[in-house]
């Protein structure tokens, strides 16, 4: 962002972040940090289940439930997990640790690292005030450097942005 | 010889780009950054990164599983 932020043709992007599970946290943070690295002005608006991604302490969960397309690499092949198996006690957390191990093994960044990179590269992060009230979070629960705002705050930014994503 | 070297081997998307950006930020215009990566996607990604940011991709090559890039900070 610093290289051409003073130029008129600086590009901008906004992302509405609505999902906060381990797998769904990746697309917005990968695109947000990469865009910032490519000198794009990035705004991320965290609403509903995306809001907990701004909490100081992240403890992201993962579930294979409802995801018929998910296959995990296992013993040289790919294994899909039927929903009925995913519902058994403990299977969800087991799938979560499998996913975290895979992420580490493949050199994929953690969400914590990507979020830190977003903060470092001046990505503007807005917490949805309504969601904060609805789910009874306090601004103190969230990391420093974020803003609070609502739909109009987002719209003002989105109307001027080159790219707007809803994830 | 590059002014700075970045070892991004073993890192997956988007870490090589993020780390390269961080390194370039701290360099002066005209200085060069050499990067080694193992992510096959980095070949297309560093080309796109340089196109967009205006930094110059001086060279790109591969040796076994390692992809090498040299970028000049503009």
- DSSP calls for A33-87: HHHHHTT-EEEEEE-GGGGGGGBSS-------TT-TT-EEEETTEEEE--HHHHT
pLDDT tens per residue across all 167 residues of chain A: 455 445 556 899 999 999 999 999 999 999 999 999 999 999 999 999 999 999 999 989 888 888 888 888 888 999 888 888 888 888 888 888 888 998 999 999 999 999 999 999 999 999 999 999 999 999 999 999 999 999 999 999 999 999 999 99
Looking at residue A19, its pLDDT comes to: 96
Q: What are the catalytic residues of B?
A: 13
- Residues of chain B in contact with residue A117, where contact means CB-CB under 8 angstroms, are 18
Looking at residue A74, its pLDDT comes to: 84
- Our CA dihedral for A147, A160, A29, A69, rounded to 10 degrees, sits at 130
ipTM of the predicted structure?
Answer: 0.88
**CA nearest A145: which of A121, A130, A164, A124?**
A124
A40/A32 Cα distance (integer angstroms)? 9
**CA nearest A107: which of B5, B28, B13?**
B13
Q: Which two tokens stand for residue B39?
A: 């992510």
A154: CB partners within 8 A, 6+ apart: A14, A16, A43, A45, A126
Nearest-by-Cβ selection for B53 from A33, A39, A109: A39
- Residues of chain A in contact with residue B14, where contact means CB-CB under 8 angstroms, are 30, 33-34, 37, 109
Q: Which fold has domain B1-33+46-63?
A: Translation Initiation Factor IF3 (3.30.110)
In chain A the domains, ranked by start, together with CATH numbers, are 12-68+109-166 (3.40.1260.10)
Closest-CA residue of chain A to B50 = A38
Instruction: Spell out where B1-74 has E strands.
Output: 4-8, 32-37, 56-63, 66-72
- What are A65-94's pLDDT values in tens digits? 888 888 888 889 998 888 888 888 888 888
- The stretch B57-74 carries a mean pLDDT of 96
Looking at residue A90, its pLDDT comes to: 86
Nearest-by-Cβ selection for B14 from A2, A33, A120: A33
| A37 CA: distance to closest CA in chain B (Å) | 6
Looking at residue A29, its pLDDT comes to: 98
| A36 CA: distance to closest CA in chain B (Å) | 9
Q: Which two tokens stand for residue B28?
A: 């002066």
- Residues of chain B in contact with residue A3, where contact means CB-CB under 8 angstroms, are 53-54
- What are B25-36's pLDDT values in tens digits? 999 999 999 999
- Residues of chain B in contact with residue A4, where contact means CB-CB under 8 angstroms, are 54
Tell me if residue A10 falls in helix, strand or coil: coil
| B59 CA: distance to closest CA in chain A (Å) | 19
Domain ranges of chain B: 1-33+46-63
Mean pLDDT of chain B: 95
Q: Which two tokens stand for residue A82?
A: 């039927």
**CA nearest B57: which of B25, B24, B14?**
B24
Looking at residue A9, its pLDDT comes to: 66
Return the sign of the alpha-carbon dihedral for residues A133, A139, A141, A145. Answer: positive
Looking at residue B30, its pLDDT comes to: 96
């Amino acid at each position: 962002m610093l290289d051409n932020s003073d130029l008129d043709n600086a590009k901008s992007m906004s992302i509405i972040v609505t999902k906060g599970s381990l797998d769904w946290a990746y697309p917005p943070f990968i695109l947000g940090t990469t865009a910032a690295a490519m000198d794009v002005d990035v705004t991320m608006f965290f609403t509903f289940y995306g809001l907990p991604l701004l909490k100081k302490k992240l403890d992201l969960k993962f579930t294979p439930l409802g995801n018929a397309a998910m296959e995990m690499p296992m013993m040289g092949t790919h294994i899909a997990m039927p929903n009925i198996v995913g519902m058994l006690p403990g299977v969800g957390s087991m799938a979560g640790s499998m996913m975290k191990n895979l992420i580490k093994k493949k050199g994929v960044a953690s969400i914590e690292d990507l979020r830190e990179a977003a903060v470092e590269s001046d990505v503007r992060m807005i917490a949805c005030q309504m969601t904060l009230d609805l789910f009874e979070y306090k601004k103190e629960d969230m990391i420093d450097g974020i803003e609070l705002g609502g739909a109009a705050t987002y719209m003002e930014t989105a109307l001027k942005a080159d790219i707007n994503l809803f994830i | 010889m590059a002014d700075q070297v970045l070892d991004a081997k073993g890192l997956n998307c988007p870490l090589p780009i993020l780390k390269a950006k961080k390194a370039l930020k701290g360099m002066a215009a005209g200085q060069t950054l050499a990067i080694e990566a193992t992510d096959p996607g980095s070949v297309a990604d560093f080309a796109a990164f340089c196109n967009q940011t205006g930094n110059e991709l001086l060279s790109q090559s591969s040796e076994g599983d390692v992809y090498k890039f040299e970028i000049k900070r503009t």
